[in-house]
Every structure is written in C-alpha cells, then in structure tokens.
Chains A and B, each alone.
Chain A
Amino acid sequence: MIGLGNYLILSGIIFSIGVVGVITSRNMLKVLLSLELLLAASNLSFVAFSRFNGDYTGQLIVFFVILVAAVEVAVGLAIIVLMYRHFATIQVDELKDLKW
C-alpha cells in the first residue's frame, strides 16, 4: 500500500536533488533544470496532500505553479542567451566580476 509518507519521501528526494543541483552545477542550463526539479517536487507533495486530505486546493495550486515555472524558465533562458552573446560561454564560473 502506497501511503502519503511514500509520496512525501519521493518529493523530498527530488527536492534535495534539485537543491544540490542548483548549488553544484557549473552549467547555467543545468541550474535551470534543477530549479524546475524544486517546483516539480513541490507539485508532487501538493497533489499528494490534496489526495490524502480530500480537498482540491492543492491540485488547483499545481496549475499556478506550472504557470510560474514556465515564466521563470522563459526569463532564465532569455538571460542565458544574453550571457552567451556577451561572454561566449554559459558556465557560472565566468560570472565573477562582482566581488568584494
């Protein structure tokens, strides 16, 4: 029997992968993908809670989260394109002008 706990553990694992990915990735596209994982993990736990609580608010929220995720990626990709034009690379390491 798959219970609420199993869903939450899965979503926790996905969330952790996302956080580690954001922190350790050097490639901007990978960072954006990891950010998407965070939102996907939240969606999973919203739907799980919604199912086991027996109300629909959680499922409703998921639609809005998908929307926001799309907007974030759109802006992120736009900045990556500008960055590639300017630095000819999309490695995060190149962003080191602003320091102390």
Chain B
Amino acid sequence: MFPVINWNLISLEVLITAILVILVVVDIFLPRESKEDWIGALSFVGLAGLIVFWFTQSNLTGATFGGMFIMDSLAWFFKGFFLLVMVFVFAMTQEFFKALPTRKNEFYLLLWLALIGMCFVASSADFLLLFLSIETLTISLYVMTAYLKSDSHSLEAGMKYLILGALTSGFFLFGLSFIYGATHSTRFEAIQAFVQTHAMSPMILFGLVLVFATVGFKIGSVPFQLWVPDVYQGAPTPVTALLSVGSKAAGFIILIRLFFGIFASWHIHWSVIFAALSAATMCYGNLGAMFQKNIKRLLGYSSIGHAGYLLMGAATGSALGLSAINFYLLGYLFTNLAAFVVIILFFIAQKSDEIEDYAGLVKRSPLLACALLLSLVSLAGIPPLAGFFGKFTLLMATVKAGLIWLAIVAGVNIIVSIYYYLLVAKRVYVDAPRTNSPIPVSLSMRWILGLAMAGIVVIGIFQGPFLDMAMTAAKGMYLFHL
C-alpha cells in the first residue's frame, strides 16, 4: 500500500518548479538576438502570482511524503520571506545585466532554482531532504557567483565559494552519518524522540558539531566566516544581495530547526557555545569592517557582524529569542537590500564599488543618497528604524535569558558599527563630489527603492503586526520544544 501524498502542502514548490520548467522551454524558443527581456518579465508575473498564492496558504499545516516534508507557521513565514527577497533580486538582476554584454536568461533560471532550494530548506523534516535542498541552493549559487566569466574577481570568488562550500557539505554528510548511526533515523521527529529519552552521547555530539559547519558556513559565523568578504566582493552584486539575505536566512532556518526543535532538550549544553560564537562573530565582523575601502566588502563584514547579533537569539534558547531572530531577519531584508540596490545603480553609472567614489553622492542623486543613508542608519541600529527595534528585541531576549555579558558585548559592537556606517554616510553627504554628472534611476528601480525604504520605516515605527507575525511563526513551529 502506497502512502497518501497530500499535494496541497507542497503546492507552492510544485508551482515554482513548473514556472522554472516553463521558463526553460520559453528560453529555448526565444530568438537569440531578441532585445526584449521576456524571461525577466515572465519571472515577475510568476513571482506576483506566487506571492498571492502564498497568502492563501497561511493556515496550512501538516506533514507529507512520509513525514519528510512539513508545512508549519515557520516554513510559511520564511517562504514569504524568500519570495520577497526574490522580488528585489530579480529587479536588481534586470538592472545589473542591462549594462553588461553577458547573456542573462540563464541567470534568471538559476535564481529560480535557488528559490526552489530555499523553499525546500524551509520545509524539510528529514536530513536527507535537508541536504539535497541545501545543495540545490548552494550549487546554483556557485554558478551564479562565477557567472561573469570574463571578470577575474567573479571567477576567483566562485572558486573560493565552491571549495569551502563543498568542504562544509562534506562535513555535513560525515556528521550526518554519525547522527544516523546513533539514532537509526534521519527523520527529525524520530531523532527528537531519541534525544528526549537519552543522555547526550559523544557520537551525536560529534555529528552535530560537523553538521553545524554547514549552518555556520551559510550564516557566516566564526569559524566559518573566511569566505564571506572575498565572495561578497567578487560575486555579481545581485548574487551578493541574495547571499547576504536569502542564503543567510536559509542557514538560520536550519539552525532554528536543529536547536529550537530537534536538539532543544539539551539546550543547556549549547547556550554557552552559541554565546561564545556570537560574541566572536560580531567582534570579527565589526572590527574587520572598520578598515574597508570597498563597499561590498564592507557590507560583507557587516553581515558577519549581523550574524553575530542573530546568534544571540540562538544563545537565549527561548521563544522570545526565536521570535526576535525572525523579526530581525525581516527588518534586515529591507535594510540590506536597499543598500544593494543603491550599490548596483551606482556601479552601473560609475563602474566602481570603492567607497571613496561615493563622495558627494547627495549632489548627484538625492534619492540614492537618502536610501543609502536610511539603510546604513538602520543597519547601525539608530531609532526609529527597523534595525533598531530588531536589535532591541534581541538584546531584551538576551538579558532575560541571563546573558548580561553578551548583551554588553553586543552594545559595544553596535557603537563600533555606528562609526564605520557613518563614515560612509559622511562621504555621501559631506565630501565634495568628483564629478557632477547625475546618476539616472529608472522608474522600476524607484519603485523598488521606495518599497525598501517604506519597509525600513514602517517596520521601525509600527512594530506590532510584524512582531506578532514573527511570534506566530515561532510558536507554531513543528517539533517546537523548550
């Protein structure tokens, strides 16, 4: 007798895959020299449809495919998150490749593939499915990172990302084999049941440390952070944006599923480890960012710092900490993507990512300067913007969990980060411009920038509904256990 498969639960992923297949076929039949960007236009139509469809799934819960695939409030929240990230990334891609001779249709297809991987990561309830979805995401990111074949930085970034990514997925598998050996299963539910009835065994611990290598690599936490600045600088900017928000959020889902779900009953053992990792990660990121001359590299270090703040939430091990992670990521999405949209528009006009070229940006394009300032100030955590309230909830959860020293370390780091964010803002607003040529901003980019700025301000001022959303996502999590 075959198990009954509930296709309703997996319908979003099926739709995304269908769109990908349709786009592949359309791409084959498009004339090579076609000037119109059909794949990009169709992608936007598809994304809009998917977001509407996503809203109808809000109350969907359950497991299917023999318990391998689950749909719960957390998965729903993060799927919406990824769709929103993709709206920004597709718009950036369209703009970025206008100025380049490279073919961009394949790039759109790879973005869709990455979206499939991220959605499956959010819904995995089995280590095998989790591994395959991580690889779907990561391998499409390898290709996208090295996409600009004539650019030596892009190639170098792709090579480094591939070597370290494949190394950590080797760690993941080796660790997984030990977890499987000790618990006789790869299903999250069975492993949690095993963990709750047994004391900690060295074999599972060994496996878990190796599995954490992949999580640490995805979120850019110490000691797996070395690739971040190099790859962020070298990769095409839309990919950097996807890495810094989408791929990081995917890493945090795995972390949440593992340490707030399956292995939560041993929480006492890793609260300290996460606290130490968090402190080390934010110090590394914020101190490293102080001396950067390239804006993408600066944001790379800053994203390591933000991974450190987010790990505070993991160290608390409380429902409040988990909701704080969700809420922070939501604010981080708008904040960071606003910065990357500005970087792309500036790069198209100026062919440079160096911070010194940003001098006097306000005279050349007040809109870009305003968006960049809002984003930097929100990243630094100055009220009343999204970044401030995110940091506030994280610090509150940390203090409530009794980790006062960690909250103090975070406070010092936030002050350090204000320094280097405002240094960039000073260049943009105070320094004299080298040229006075205005930077054109197309209508679609104005919309995207407006959306990002609205997100930063609205989440900062009306936190209530967004905080509720983050809390609901946390509370309804499958296997949630504290």
* A binding-site residues for B, Cβ under 8 Å: 11, 15, 18-19, 22, 28, 31, 35, 38-39, 41-42, 45-46, 48-49, 52-53, 55, 57-58, 60-61, 64-65, 68, 71-72, 75-76, 78-80, 82-83, 86-87, 92, 95, 97-100
Contact = CB atoms under 8 A, between A and B. Distances in A.
B375 interface: no
Prevailing SS type, chain B contact patch: helix
Contacts of B146: 79, 82
A38 B170 contact: yes
Given A35-B167, A95-B160, A49 B135 contact: no
Contacts of B156: 95, 97-98
A68 B159 contact: no
B142 interface: yes
Contact of A45 (B163, B181, B186, B229): B181
Given A55-B184, A58-B177, A79-B158, A31 B234 contact: no
A83 B146 CA distance: 10
Contacts of A19: 167, 170
A60 B233 CA distance: 39
Contacts of B353: none
B139 A98 contact: no
B67 to A, nearest CB: 13
Interface residues of B, number: 40
A35 to B, nearest CB: 5
Given A22-B167, A35-B170, A38-B174, A75 B181 contact: no
B441 interface: no
A27 B311 CA distance: 36
A53 B186 contact: no
A60 B230 CA distance: 37
A58 B152 CA distance: 41
Nearest to B142: A75
A51 to B, nearest CB: 11
A40 B174 CA distance: 10
A15 B234 CA distance: 30
Contact of B155 (A15, A35, A75, A86): A86
Contacts of B169: 68, 72
Prevailing SS type, chain A contact patch: helix
Given A35-B167, A41-B170, 12 more contacts: A11-B177, A35-B170, A39-B173, A46-B177, A52-B181, A53-B184, A61-B186, A64-B128, A79-B146, A82-B149, A83-B155, A99-B230
B463 interface: no
Interface of B: 128, 131-132, 135, 139, 142-143, 146, 149-150, 152-153, 155-160, 162-163, 166-167, 169-171, 173-174, 176-178, 180-181, 184-186, 229-230, 233-234, 291
28 contacts: A15-B170, A18-B170, A22-B163, A28-B159, A35-B167, A38-B171, A46-B173, A46-B180, A49-B177, A49-B180, A55-B184, A57-B186, A61-B186, A64-B132, A68-B135, A72-B135, A72-B166, A76-B162, A79-B155, A82-B149, A82-B155, A86-B149, A95-B156, A95-B159, A97-B152, A97-B156, A98-B230, A98-B234
A58 B291 CA distance: 48
Given A79-B159, A98-B153, A71 B135 contact: yes
Contacts of A58: 177, 180
A21 to B, nearest CB: 10
A22 B162 CA distance: 12
A38 B135 CA distance: 15
Contacts of B291: 100
B166 A76 contact: yes
Nearest to A25: B163
